[in-house]
Amino acid sequence: MPLELLIDGYNLIRQSPHLSQFEALDLERGREALLERLAVYAKVRGHKITVVFDGWGNPHLKSKELTQRGIKVIFTRRGETADDWIKRRLKEFKEAVVVSSDREVKSWAERMGAFSISSDEFEKKMEEALYMDLKGIDLDEDGSAEPIKKGPARRLSKRERKRRSVWQRL
């Protein structure tokens, strides 16, 4: 089952050494580089991705929503941050996975019962997907490329099993 990812776009770009190099040249190039990597990730993993960019700094920008490379891209309206938009969306849809290194957003997601992952960790997941795409590795039905390991039974708590399930599907 595909996950819905809510990504704080500028947070991910600025936390990534690779993507921040593009942003240093031009803000638009940073966004394009992120969308290229996310398109490959979505192709390999099959998740629904929404990237939210802050629009509050641009006085002419109204809330804008578009789709690029199969990824939903949202520019928030003036006066609203990507963090605010993500928090509002989590109130409606608690099953999303939030990608942000902002502590406030991550703790809000946890309180709402959603799974959150830091930008650094998600970048590693994107790199894995890029590698898998390059090598032509396909995933099993459960979303893993590794064999299932069997061993002594030790059942984790329900919360921890849910976290691991989401983590493996990323």
Q: Which helix H or strand E contains 31, and what residues bound it?
A: helix 27-45
pTM: 0.77
β-strand pairing of 115-117 with 64-68: unpaired
Give the pLDDT confidence score for residue 155 in this predicted structure: 78
Query: What average pLDDT does the structure give for the chain?
Result: 83
Tens digits of residue pLDDT in 42-96: 998 889 999 999 876 555 556 688 888 899 999 998 888 899 999 999 888 778 8
Q: Are 71 and 45 in contact (CB under 8 A)?
A: no
In this predicted model, what pLDDT tens digit does every residue of 5-56 receive, in sequence order? 999 999 999 999 889 888 888 888 999 999 999 999 999 888 999 999 987 6
Domain that residue 117 falls in = 4-169
| pLDDT value of residue 48 | 93
Residue 97 belongs to domain with CATH number:
3.40.50
Torsion-angle region of residue 70: left (phi > 0), alpha (psi -120 to 50) or beta? left
Q: Please give the pLDDT value at position 149.
A: 52
For residues 86 and 75, give the distance between their C-alpha atoms in angstroms, rounded to a whole number.
12
Distances, alpha carbon 153 to alpha carbons 87, 149, 156, 162, 165, in Å: 38, 11, 10, 17, 17
Residue closest to 6 by CA, chosen among 129, 64, 89, 63? 89
Q: How are beta strands 71-75 and 97-99 bridged, if at all? A: unpaired
The whole-number pLDDT of residue 145 equals 52
Is the pLDDT score of 148 beyond 60? Answer: no
Rg (CA), the chain: 17
Q: Which helix (H) or strand (E) holds 72?
A: strand 71-75
How many domains does one find in the chain? 1
pLDDT of residue 150: 56
Tokens of 61: 């920008």
